[in-house]
Structure 1
Amino acid sequence: MGLTSNKVLALTVCTAVLLFAGTVWLWPRLARRTWRAVSGRVALLLAVQLTLFASAGLAANQAFGFYASWADLLGQETDEGVVVDHTPGGPEDDPLRVLDTGSVPGAGSPGARAGGRIHEVEILGRTTHIATRAYVYLPPEYFQARYRTRTFPAAVVLTGYPGTAKALVDKLDYPHTARRLAKEGRMQPMILVMLRPTVAPPRDTECVDIPGGPQTESFFAKDLPDAVGGHYRVGEKPGSWGIIGDSTGGYCALKLAMHHPWVYAAGAGLSAYYRAPIDRTTGDLFHGDKTLRNRADLFWYLKNMPAPDTSLLVSSSKVGESNYKDTLKFIEGAKATNRTRISSIILESGGHNFNTWRREIPATLEWISGRLSDR
């Protein structure tokens, strides 16, 4: 049974309840001062505490999608992917392969023309040799006859770190929300490409081209749009792509839109930070390269580089978010450029969690839809 299995959670909760009941029942028998009685009390208390802790941890992981598997939790991620060269033009030469097809959660109708589709795909970076999996949401209009010659705008949607791409589908409800908003006429139909920024697990690369390491920024700036655009009907002109993310994904979204405005016409960072951290999960990202480190600092970039011609959206909360002051500072820095367009969502209160982002996602999708072209 997998880490995110409901059966695992139910079994752990039941075990905790039984151990608690057993402790209450056996406690009078263990009230003596013999070493066996003391050892029994200690063992029962530890067992109850451990199962309660495990139940809370599994429930939190179910709600927030921190880890996808036991290997992911233990830092032993095995699904890293190995890229091999194939003969050009062969059946495996496509940088995007569809692995599975499913309906949109909450869509009601199982038909593609009414409910849309979600593809689980594997993307192989032709220039960066990065392999990762993603989920692609195709709106109902993609399958309807009157749109058969139309191209669609696309938005990359990124999780935080470590995050799971599936959480974007069934926890944050991006496909269901996009379908609902389009049906209500509040946004145009869009393709969503949902994945985590951790494309070289378990390392947190912060969407940086690491010297001698994973070229993550180049993957998102070139390989990903090329692979998706070569497989689906995505607009080819500048302005067809946007990018959204939360937490680490939010930092990546803002940075990619600023560094590559000709690729991403708009970038939205929900609860984003503005400088790449250096810690045990990232390792040495810059290898002493001051220029690379400065470029990864979005405050430095706004102040010292030509203002990017792109649209940015940032979000925070007056109470509950640690990035509030930095977000106000970033807004002022973007406004001072007189070229970079900046918008914001500031809540009165809200933590760094799924509940807060679910409150911001509808407005974010409307905002990014209004800044992308379908041609």
Structure 2
Amino acid sequence: MDLTSKTVLALTVLIAVALFASTVLLWPRLADRTWRAVTGRIGLLLATQLTLFASVGLAVNNAFGFYASWADLFGQEHQTGVVVDHTTGPGGTDLKRQGVERTGLPHDNRRADVAGRLDKVLIRGEATGITSPAYVYLPPEYFQPRYAHRHFPAAVVLTGYPGTAEALYTKLHYPQTERRLVAKGRMQPTVLVMLRPTVAPPRDTECMDIPGGPQTETFFTKELRADIAAHYRTGTAARSWGVMGDSTGGYCALKMTMRHPEAYSTAAALSGYYKAPLDPTTGDLFAGNAQLQRENNLLWRQRHLPAPPVNLLVTTSKQGETNYADTMRFIQGTKAPTRISSIVLESGGHNFNTWRREIPAALAWLAGRLDT
């Protein structure tokens, strides 16, 4: 039976209830101090506790979709993502016409021209007043003599909410993945700017300019790019810049690229969603402005606003992700001149293991569409 099956959850709950009842009924019989009685009491208590924790864990997993299968839970799901390019037209995307696959850094003591370099920086926005820490990965080629006068494409990489920027290289291995892909000739050297979308903590701003609040969208689409380009050899045009992220970071990547094609030409969303939530972490993002709320709904934008000339990649899984139906609608609603690609796994939850399976193909796809 599948991990997310309601039958598994119900069976686990029934076993927990039965063990609790058995403990109450059998406890008087196990009151002796003999080793058998003591062992019986310990066994009943442990079994009851384990099934209780399992019941709670299964219920939470079913609610939030952390793991899609037993293999996913135990880290045995290794199917990698494959990028499929879809054909867009003025009326939308035909899902039947599909393309084909395009196919220990921080403590590395080797020279930068061999291993690359990871810089911890503070990105400052003068107009917005936002200051955010970030990690900038510079590939080995950045330091090699034959590239001394070359400007590199750049990709902003975002976590989910609240997320930690460190997880992008310690858990999701973005720099390490780029090194492998470049060595195999599957990706061009690219500067990675890794940070959280939460640049006004603890508030979840969903990467938008909040009326009377943090101007996060301006920070990401203008100030971050200008600050990085002023300190590193990166291109300045939109064709040189991409953005990708998971969960909230994925929504931000899609939205900022669709709303600001003058800033980003390419976006990849891993397990992204398509409209901003309104909850205690976000507060009132739109200040009662219904039009602003619609404009930040990506499915609404597709239906009612002109399509920008950008490249978009979305990912989901048939089992384990809650965004599957919306992702299919988003692909179908994408109109030319926007170009849409996708990675659809058979199973995979909303977790690091799933994103690690998608990152190699997504990162190579993104870098392949950037130019200096």
**Do Structure 1 and Structure 2 share a fold, with TM-score over 0.5?**
yes
Q: What RMSD over aligned residues (CA atoms) do the two structures have, in Å?
A: 2.6
Supply the AA of the counterpart residue of 2:238.
P
State yes or no: 1:104 paired with 2:109.
no
User: Which letter does structure 1 place at the counterpart of 2:366?
Assistant: I
- Residue correspondence of structure 1 range 1-375 to structure 2 within 5 A: 104-105=105-106, 110-334=110-334, 337-374=335-372
Q: Secondary structure at the match of 2:122?
A: strand
Consecutive unaligned residues of structure 1, counting only runs of 5 or more, are: 1-26, 33-40, 58-102
2:109 and 2:348 map into 1 onto residues whose CA distance is 34
Q: For the residues of structure 1 that align with 2:221 and 2:283, how far apart are their CA atoms?
A: 22
How far off its partner does 1:147 sit? 0.4
Displacement of 1:179 in angstroms is: 1.1
Residues 208, 215 of structure 2: 8 Å contact kept: yes
Q: Distance in 2 between matches of 1:255 and 1:124?
A: 22
The CA distance in 1 between the partners of 2:285 and 2:237, in whole Å, is 33
- Deviation of 1:105 (Å): 4.6
Structure possessing the higher relative contact order (Cα contacts under 8 Å, 6 or more residues apart): 2
Q: Is the 8 A contact 1:105 1:176 kept in 2?
A: no
Residue 133 of structure 2: SS of its match in structure 1? strand
| Counterpart residue number, 1:66 | none
Instruction: Give the CA deviation at 1:219.
Output: 0.6
Using the size of structure 2 for normalisation, the TM-score is 0.72
Q: Is the 8 A contact 2:225 2:236 kept in 1?
A: no
Q: Distance in 2 between matches of 1:125 and 1:282?
A: 21
Following superposition, the deviation at residue 180 of structure 1 comes to 1.0
The CA deviation at 1:238 is 3.1
Rounded Cα–Cα distance in structure 2 between residues aligned with 1:236 and 1:207: 21
Q: Distance in 2 between matches of 1:236 and 1:157?
A: 17
AA matched with 1:346:
V
In 1: Cα distance, 2:106 partner to 2:122 partner: 21
- Structure 2 residue runs of 5 or longer lacking an equivalent are 1-26, 33-40, 58-103
Report the alpha carbon displacement of residue 109 of structure 1 after superposing the two structures with TM: 5.7
d(CA) in 2 for partners of 1:175, 1:189: 10
Q: Give the percent of matched residue pairs that are identical in Structure 1 and Structure 2.
A: 62
Q: Secondary structure at the match of 2:157?
A: strand
Calculate the TM-score normalised by the size of structure 1: 0.72
Equivalences, count? 285
Structure 1: 4+ residue segments shifted above 6 A: none
Q: Structure 2 CA distance, aligned partners of 1:238 and 1:169?
A: 25
Residue 276 of structure 1, CA deviation? 0.2
- Give CA-to-partner distance per residue, 1:261-291, whole Å, 9 cap, x none: 1211100110000010000110000001112
Q: How far apart are residue 295 of structure 1 and its match? A: 1.1
- Deviation, structure 1 residue 110: 1.9
